[in-house]
Each structure stands twice: as C-alpha cells, then as structure tokens.
C-alpha cells in the first residue's frame, strides 16, 4: 500500500500522480474509474469523448475535502488511461454518423443509398463493440472486488456496465439525473443511441427493477407514453413539476424523501451532466434550460445513503469541453462527490 504519510493533501495537485493528484496505483485503490471516450451517436454538439482526459487535468484543482465524507480519498481513487484505440474508433465513426444524420435530416431514405446503409451498419456495429468492451472491462474490475465508476463520453456508454452490475448484484435500480428521458427506441436508427440508453437497459436487463428519473425537461411523445405505460417500473420527476412544487412551498427535503422512497435497496447513479442548470455545463452535448444546482443533486445522493440504501456503481457522462475549462471543473467536482459517496457507502456496507 502506498505510504501516504509523505503525501500532503494541502499541496497543489501533482500532475505526475493520478486523478485528483492522488498517489495510488490501480491495485491499491478501492475505486477504479474507467474512461470511455465514445460519442459516436451524439445528435447535437460533440466533444464529450475527450472529457475524461480534460476532467483528469481539471481534477488537480479539486481540494481533497468533502463535507459529507471524511477523508474518503484515503481509500484510493484511480483512473485508468484513456484507450486511444477506442478514441480513434469513436472519432472515425462519429464522422460517419454525422454524414448519416445530415442525410436523413433532409428526409432522404436510407435504403435508397448504399453508402448510407453501409454507414448505419458500421455505426450500429461500433456501438455493439463498445457495449461489449465496457461489459468486459467493468466485469473484470468487479470480479477483483473493485468499486467502479464509469466516465464518458456520451450517455450510451454505461450499458455494458449496467449488465455487469446486474450479474454481480442481481436486482437493482437506477437513479438517473438527466434533462432527457433517453427512452427512445433506436433514435435516428442507431440501435444503441445515447438517446436510447434507458430504453435498452430496461429491455435487455431484467434485473433492472426500477428507473427513477429526476430533472427531465426535454422529451418526446413516445417517451412520455413509455413512462405512463411502464406500470411504475419507470418513475419520472419532471423538472417543471419539481420547480412548481418548490414555488408553491414544498421543501427540497420533502421532495427528495419522495424520490428516495421510489428506489430499491441497491442503487446505481447514472448522471448525465445536462441534468444540471446549463450555466454549469454550457458545452454539454444537448443543453436544456432549467435543471439543478449541484447542491440539490448532492443532497439527493446524501439522502439515498442515509436511507440505508446501497450505492453499487455510478457513471458520469456528457461533460463538455471548453477553452475556459468551466465544464471540466464542474465535472471534476461532481466526480469527486460521486467517488467519495461510493467509498463511504461501501465501507459502511462492508463494516
């Protein structure tokens, strides 16, 4: 184990160390972060594939104290290097997908164009590849007894991780922070679109017993119908409804207690950063006005743990990149909170 007696948590973050400037190796760390530099099916702004590297750089500015978790960093956080082959594959297929999206946006029929038909097949094959790659990577880490956080990339990235979690933990629920439902079936004909992640998870993972969505404010008719007809397997707290409750005098504690009651014992947090107010993440893939302050979301997470439920995994996705690095700095602090809650909760569970 690393001798942290010589490590000064008050000093500037050392770029020769790992995430948050911490000196741990993967073997020594309780929590391993898997970067997934993938954004092939994004339908608006690109850039999230390069978020993991940029987040790691920004994390050196995060002070190692969390008011909710005392010295959680001492358990060890480690982020793996970005797989450049995955990034290159994402870049190539992203260009292909852009051509395809532009083609169908003009009302053209895919079957009338052999090149576009081939492109669609390639993109869907690439998505299948990344799902399997994520599954294998996360399963191997879980089998080693590691806690795992996934760092995207777009929101399509965690499906393989959901499957690995289901194998390890059995029945579980997802707490989704998001501006979108992500319940579209094969959006733009991409089977594993970022806009279809929760549709695919519910379809392919029977152990996923409950999906609780919080902050949704941009959704389609079909998604709204899906929620209504899900027999409460999906419970969606729309941003408009939450805000109106606040305006009419309900407290955030009361609202949060209601949200937490919907969750089963084992909880996976799926955090699309566009669930926040876009002033905090202006360069995310699909920003939408409205949304939360970080403190509101952190309060929900805190209450999940205080309720006795167990946090079994998390993903953080759709962090944009910018010259000012504002998105990356917000993302790094969200990541730090998730890491701390993860090790604190599992330390309690193991104890």
Question: What pLDDT score does 152 carry?
Answer: 95
The CATH number covering residue 179 comes to 3.40.800.10
The DSSP line for 199-265 is HHHHHH-TTEEEEEEEEE-B--HHHHHHHHTSTTSEEEEEHHHHHHHHHTT--HHHHHHHHHHTS-S
CA torsion angle for 259, 262, 267, 272 (degrees, to 10)? -50
- Any residues with CB less than 8 A from the CB of 215 and at least 6 apart, and which? 177, 178, 179, 237, 239, 242, 275, 290, 291, 292
Instruction: Read off the pLDDT of residues 179-224 as tens digits, 9 standing for 90 and up.
Output: 999 999 999 999 999 999 999 999 999 999 999 999 999 999 999 9
Angle at 79 between CA 348 and CA 20, to 5 degrees: 80
Asked if 130 contacts 157 with a C-beta cutoff of 8 angstroms, the reply is yes
- Whole-number Å distance between alpha carbons of 324 and 225: 40
In the structure, what pLDDT confidence band is assigned to residue 347 with cuts at 50, 70 and 90?
A: low
Between the CA of residue 257 and those of 22, 46, 55, 83, 125, what are the distances in Å?
35, 36, 31, 40, 42
Question: What pLDDT score does 112 carry?
Answer: 81
- Whole-number Å distance between alpha carbons of 321 and 283: 6
In the structure, what pLDDT confidence band is assigned to residue 5 with cuts at 50, 70 and 90?
A: confident
How many domains, in total, are found in the chain?
A: 1
- Whole-number Å distance between alpha carbons of 89 and 36: 12
Domain around 284: 4-350
Instruction: Of 19-23, 59-63, 97-101, 313-317, give the lowest mean pLDDT range.
Output: 97-101
In the structure, what pLDDT confidence band is assigned to residue 351 with cuts at 50, 70 and 90?
A: very low
- Whole-number Å distance between alpha carbons of 182 and 213: 10
């Amino acid at each position: 184990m690393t001798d942290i007696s010589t490590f000064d948590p008050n000093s500037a973050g050392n770029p020769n160390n790992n995430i948050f400037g911490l000196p741990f190796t993967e073997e020594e760390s309780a929590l391993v972060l898997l970067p997934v530099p993938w954004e092939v099916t994004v339908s608006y702004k690109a850039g999230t594939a390069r978020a993991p590297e940029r987040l790691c750089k920004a994390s050196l500015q995060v002070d190692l104290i969390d008011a909710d978790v005392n010295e959680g960093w001492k358990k060890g956080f480690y982020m793996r290097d970005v797989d450049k082959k995955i990034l290159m594959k994402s870049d190539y297929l992203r260009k292909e997908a852009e051509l395809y999206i532009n083609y169908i946006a003009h009302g053209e029929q895919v079957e009338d164009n052999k090149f576009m038909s081939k492109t669609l097949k390639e993109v869907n094959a690439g998505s299948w590849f990344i799902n399997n790659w994520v599954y294998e990577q996360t399963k191997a880490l879980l089998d080693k007894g590691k806690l795992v956080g996934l760092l995207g990339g777009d929101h399509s990235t965690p499906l393989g991780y959901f499957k690995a979690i289901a194998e390890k933990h059995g029945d579980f629920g997802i707490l989704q922070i998001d501006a979108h439902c992500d319940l579209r079936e094969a959006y733009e004909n991409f089977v594993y679109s970022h806009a279809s992640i929760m549709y695919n998870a519910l379809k392919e993972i029977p152990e996923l017993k409950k999906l609780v969505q919080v902050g949704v404010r941009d959704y389609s008719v079909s998604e709204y119908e899906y929620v209504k007809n899900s027999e409460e397997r999906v419970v969606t707290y729309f941003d408009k409804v939450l805000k109106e409750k606040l305006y009419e005098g309900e407290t955030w504690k009361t609202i949060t207690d209601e949200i937490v009651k919907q969750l089963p014992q084992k909880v996976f947090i799926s955090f699309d950063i566009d669930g926040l107010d876009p002033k905090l993440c202006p360069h995310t893939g699909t920003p939408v006005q409205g949304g939360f302050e970080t403190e509101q979301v952190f309060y929900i997470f805190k209450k999940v743990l205080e309720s006795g439920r167990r946090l079994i995994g998390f993903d953080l996705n759709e962090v944009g990149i910018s010259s000012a690095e504002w998105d990356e700095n917000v993302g790094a602090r969200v990541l730090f909170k998730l890491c701390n809650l993860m090790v604190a909760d599992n330390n309690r569970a193991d104890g």
